[in-house]
């Protein structure tokens, strides 16, 4: 992409922001997409994001515009119109015969085509699918060196090319430990949102239309295609969004619990019993139920191995005076032990 960036103390980074309309966010989009992007550039980008909440909003808007332009690049009619505009714009402006609406439309087409390099053939994209079955966890290493942990009943699609790295989470929970590659941005799509990596270890969980993003280390920017703004997460933070465009503000993440499930354990600290059962039920076809919903209010602490229902039931019987009874082949019901 041929883009002229504003000058700054770093010759490769955009200039200090003077307002929301000075092209600053657009310059950062170009800088981060460039193969010349350096670690210093990324550090300056993070400081720029920290300087104002408006910077996050401006950057998300610029990123959306960039993605929209990329989609237009595959339209042959738009490409042809852009080429015509390129040839005719000089002559028409000299003779002052352009009507304003026509000039505006041609300029838009030209900017979209030039911005995504319409003279180049699209880079090939390899689609690779990975999945786990109920109760299964899987660790894998992608071609770029990124480490991925798939939790139970999870499906993802990896789309890598010479220019980008994109993962789509179709269902389930995934942890990403992203390998550095400034020339190819790393992003994760889940539902209506996009999580853009800025050098991180983070987790994405998608259940139906609900998506949760938790950050363990580094930094990520989360944008929802239907929301008015995005949000940047810091280590130890999480947020959620859904198909309606609602996005929660960042809130604390239980880092210990987040780091435990990839190693096969569930760590609970003063959590509700019903939440524990919901989590354990994700790993087994045999579901644990409560005979009385009020039992769900019991607070539980402990480390429980994923899929080991027998150990969990023994702990609940001994430590919380509950009694387990099998109600069906695929269901165990927990009662309060009267004795």
What is the rounded average pLDDT for all residues in the chain?
78
Q: Which residue has the higher pLDDT, 174 or 18?
A: 174
170 within some domain: yes
The answer to whether residue 8 scores a pLDDT higher than 50 is no
13 within some domain: no
Q: Do 104 and 35 share a structural domain?
A: yes
Query: Domain ends where: 115, 146, 173?
Result: 115
Q: Do 235 and 158 share a structural domain?
A: yes
The answer to whether residue 180 scores a pLDDT higher than 80 is yes
Q: What is the pLDDT of residue 258?
A: 94
Q: Do 320 and 235 share a structural domain?
A: no
Query: Domain ends where: 255, 274, 308?
Result: 255
d(CA 179, CA 263): 20
Cβ atoms of 55 and 61 within 8 Å: the answer is: no
**Band of the pLDDT at 96, cuts 50, 70, 90?**
very low
37 within some domain: yes
Q: Do 311 and 216 share a structural domain?
A: no
- Closest by CA to 74, choosing from 29, 120, 34, 107, is 120
Domain tally for the chain? Answer: 3
- pTM of the model as a whole: 0.65
135 within some domain: yes
Q: Do 228 and 144 share a structural domain?
A: yes
CATH of the domain at 273: 3.55.50.30
The answer to whether residue 229 scores a pLDDT higher than 90 is no
CATH of the domain at 184: 2.60.120.1440
272 within some domain: yes
Q: What is the pLDDT of residue 276?
A: 93
Domain that includes residue 131, residue range: 126-255
Picking from 2-16, 62-76, 277-291, which range would have the lowest pLDDT averaged per residue? 2-16
Q: Do 251 and 286 share a structural domain?
A: no
Q: Do 243 and 271 share a structural domain?
A: no
Q: Do 111 and 223 share a structural domain?
A: no
d(CA 216, CA 263): 15
Q: Do 325 and 282 share a structural domain?
A: yes
Q: Do 173 and 251 share a structural domain?
A: yes
Query: Domain ends where: 255, 274, 291?
Result: 255
**Band of the pLDDT at 167, cuts 50, 70, 90?**
very high
The answer to whether residue 128 scores a pLDDT higher than 80 is yes
Q: What is the pLDDT of residue 339?
A: 63
Instruction: Calculate helix-pair angle for 24-33, 39-51, nearest 10 degrees.
Output: 150
């Amino acid at each position: 992409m041929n883009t002229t960036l504003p000058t700054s103390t770093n010759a490769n980074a955009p200039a200090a922001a003077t307002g929301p309309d000075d092209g600053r966010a657009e310059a950062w989009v170009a800088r981060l997409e460039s193969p010349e992007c350096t670690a210093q550039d990324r550090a300056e980008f993070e400081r720029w994001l920290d300087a104002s909440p408006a910077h996050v909003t401006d950057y998300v808007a610029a990123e959306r515009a960039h993605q929209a332009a990329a989609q237009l690049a595959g339209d042959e009619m738009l490409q042809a119109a852009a080429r015509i505009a390129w040839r005719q714009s000089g002559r028409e402006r000299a003779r002052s015969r352009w009507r304003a609406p026509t000039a505006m439309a041609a300029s838009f087409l030209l900017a979209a085509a030039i911005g995504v390099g319409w003279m180049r053939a699209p880079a090939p994209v390899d689609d690779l699918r990975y999945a786990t079955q109920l109760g299964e966890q899987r660790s894998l290493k992608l071609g770029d060196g990124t480490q991925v942990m798939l939790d139970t009943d999870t499906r993802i699609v990896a789309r890598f090319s010479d220019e980008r790295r994109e993962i789509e989470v179709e269902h389930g929970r995934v942890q990403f430990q992203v390998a550095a590659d400034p020339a190819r941005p790393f992003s994760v799509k889940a539902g209506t949102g996009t999580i853009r990596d800025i050098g991180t270890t983070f987790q994405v969980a998608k259940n139906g239309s609900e998506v949760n993003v938790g950050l363990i280390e580094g930094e990520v920017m989360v944008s929802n295609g239907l929301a008015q703004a995005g949000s940047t997460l810091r280590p130890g933070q999480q947020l959620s969004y859904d198909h309606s465009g609602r996005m929660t503000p960042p809130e604390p993440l239980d880092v210990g619990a987040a780091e435990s499930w990839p190693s096969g354990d569930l760590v609970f600290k003063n959590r509700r019993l019903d939440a524990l059962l919901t989590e354990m039920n994700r790993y087994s076809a045999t579901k644990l139920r409560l005979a009385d919903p009020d039992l769900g209010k019991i607070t539980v602490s402990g480390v429980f191995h994923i899929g080991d229902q027998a150990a969990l039931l023994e702990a609940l019987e001994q430590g919380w005076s509950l009694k387990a009874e099998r109600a069906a082949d695929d269901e165990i019901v927990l009662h309060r032990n009267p004795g």
